[in-house]
């Protein structure tokens, strides 16, 4: 079974503990980068990152060519960077952005 990690500020990620995910608290972009590294070192196959810390371009540079970990933005529903980046990942994977609402 895949190990899943979630990186973000404590109040936004604690609910993921109930699902059995590993959570990594971060209070800044630098802490989020360190948390992504820790999650990868801990063997997380999928690492979700809250949209408040846009570390996805940084993570793509490090983990982009690897199969795991997949570092994925958690969209917050207001059309911010996280949601747009998730749409680009889906489009790359399936050939169309099936998440687009238009």
**Prediction pTM value:** 0.75
Domain range holding 72?
Answer: 4-94
How many domains are there within the chain?
1
pLDDT at 95 (0 to 100): 65
Instruction: Copy the structure tokens of residue 40.
Output: 């990868």
In a domain, 102, yes or no: no
Mean pLDDT of the chain: 81
- The mean per-residue pLDDT over the stretch 13-23 comes to 88
Q: How confident is the model at residue 94 (pLDDT cuts 50, 70, 90)?
A: low
DSSP 2-38: --EEEEE-HHHHGGGGGGT-EEEE-SSHHHHHHHHHH
Question: pLDDT digits over 27-45, tens only?
Answer: 999 999 999 999 999 999 9
- Domain with residue 68: its CATH number is 3.40.50.10580
pLDDT at 40 (0 to 100): 96
């Amino acid at each position: 079974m895949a190990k899943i990690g979630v990186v973000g500020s404590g109040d936004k990620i604690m609910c993921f503990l109930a699902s059995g995910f590993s959570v990594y608290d971060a209070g800044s972009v630098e802490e989020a980068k360190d948390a992504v590294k820790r999650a990868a070192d801990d063997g997380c196959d999928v690492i979700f990152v809250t949209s408040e810390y846009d570390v996805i371009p940084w993570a793509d540079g490090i983990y982009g060519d690897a199969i795991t970990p997949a570092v994925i933005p958690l969209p917050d529903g207001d059309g911010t960077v996280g949601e747009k980046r998730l749409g680009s990942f889906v489009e790359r994977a399936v050939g169309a952005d099936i998440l687009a609402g238009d």
